[in-house]
Amino acid sequence: MKRELEENLFLNGCQIYIAPLGSLSPTTWRSKILVKRAQEAGAEVYRHQLDSAICLACNSVSVMKLKSFLNEASPPLVLKADWLCDCLDEQRKLPFDRYR
């Protein structure tokens, strides 16, 4: 149920915040793929902004690490990327591992 709600929020054009951490550095291929996929699904993607946007963290970035990066800012909803990749892979008929 929670995953379905998250997918609906995302696919309804919510904002995505890409955290500049580790393998989610804006210059890495993984980050670029996630940004491209988010945009293809109709989301607006913002980098280096702390607001009420939904946070998208790749699997190698822990929720705790992301929250510590956000410090005392009002914590946005923190999501993992696996549900997003699964959802878009299903639409594009591509295997999930191809983008890892």
CA 100/CA 95 separation, integer angstroms: 10
Q: Where are the domains of the chain?
A: 2-90
Element (H, E) at 27: none
- The CATH code of domain 2-90 reads 3.40.50
Rounded Cα–Cα distance for residues 53 and 45 (Å): 9
Report pLDDT for 67. Answer: 57
* Beta carbons of 69 and 49 less than 8 angstroms apart: no
- pLDDT per residue over 32-54, tens digit each? 666 676 666 666 665 544 333 44
- C-alpha–C-alpha distance, residues 75 and 41, integer Å: 24
Regions of the chain short of the pLDDT cut 50:
10-14, 19-24, 48-54, 57-60, 72-76, 87-100
CB of 65 closer than 8 Å to CB of 44: no
The confidence score (pLDDT) of residue 16 equals 54
